[in-house]
Amino acid sequence: MDRISSMFEAHPRRSRVDTGRLPAFVLELADCEVTCTLCADACLSEPHVQMLAKCIALNLECADTCAATARTLSRFGFAEPSVTRLQVEACREACGACARECDRHQDMEHCQLCAEMCRRCEQACSRALESMLAGVS
């Protein structure tokens, strides 16, 4: 995280998200992306994979949304604030939907771990949105 923190601090412009928290948020998004990708892969290895189609789809949707959000937050120099806010809102929604679906699969440890990660990321998105709405620069 030191390199990411240094890159954010070296940037000549300030982010609308609290820059003290931004590196940790970007890493949280990356963790969620990988966790959801791994969960989708694990679901594909389950014996009744057809019953997990919705879970796999939401895992992949969440992973892609987290990746896009991390990239969006890393390009704050000339970013349009409304687009950034909408991206974080979409990520929060994707994480919530994925967590709820994974929670349905109580007998699969990978889904439980994924649900936990998605809830953490959903909360991180909510905190980021609060700082955006408060006008933190």
Measured distance CA(52)–CA(41) in Å, rounded: 11
- Dihedral angle, C-alpha 20, 21, 27, 29, nearest 10 °: -150
> For residue 16, is it within any domain?
no
> For residue 45, is it within any domain?
yes
The 3-state DSSP class for residue 103 equals: helix
Q: In this structure, are residues 127 and 28 in contact, taking their beta carbons and an 8 Å threshold?
A: no
* Full residue range of the structural domain in which residue 39 is found: 21-132
Which of the pair, 13 or 82, is modelled with greater confidence? 82
Q: What total number of domains does the chain contain?
A: 1
* pLDDT tens, position by position, 7-18: 777 777 776 665
> For residue 1, is it within any domain?
no
> For residue 41, is it within any domain?
yes
Give exposure, 91-119, as e/b (b: 16+ Cβ within 10 Å).
bbebbbbbbebbeebeebebbeebbebbb
> For residue 4, is it within any domain?
no
> For residue 127, is it within any domain?
yes
pTM for the model stands at 0.89
Mean pLDDT of all residues in 54-76:
95
CATH number at residue 80: 1.20.1270.360
DSSP code at position 45: T
137: pLDDT strictly greater than 50: no
> For residue 30, is it within any domain?
yes
pLDDT band (50, 70, 90) for residue 85: very high
> For residue 34, is it within any domain?
yes
